[in-house]
């Protein structure tokens, strides 16, 4: 749509440029690469704090449960 209709303009004075809109061509591989990188960063960003919390609280909880049995 961007290539056909030029939805995103370069600015208020687009006539100063050769092309008045941002030239964009989308490739499936680009979407896949961006998704993979964002997914990986999100996974790592979520895993580290969850691991820290689990190590801190679950060990105490498990040891307390074993002592009470």
If pLDDT is split at 50, 70 and 90, which confidence band does 5 have? confident
Q: Find the mean pLDDT for residues 9-13.
A: 75
If pLDDT is split at 50, 70 and 90, which confidence band does 65 have? low
pTM: predicted TM-score of the whole model, two decimal places: 0.53
CB-based burial label for 21 (10 Å; 0-12, 13-18, 19+): middle
pLDDT in tens, 21-47: 777 787 899 999 999 999 999 999 999
Domain count, the chain: 1
Residue 13 confidence (pLDDT) above 90: no
Boundaries of domain holding 63: 2-68
Q: Find the mean pLDDT for residues 51-65.
A: 75
Taking CA atoms, 53 is separated from 21, 25, 56, in Å, by 48, 43, 5
């Amino acid at each position: 749509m961007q290539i056909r209709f030029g939805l995103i303009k370069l600015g208020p004075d687009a006539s100063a440029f050769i092309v008045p809109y941002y030239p964009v061509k989308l490739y499936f591989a680009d979407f896949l690469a961006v998704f993979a990188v964002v997914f990986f960063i999100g996974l790592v960003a979520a895993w580290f704090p969850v691991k820290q919390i689990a190590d801190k609280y679950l060990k105490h909880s498990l040891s307390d449960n074993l002592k009470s049995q």
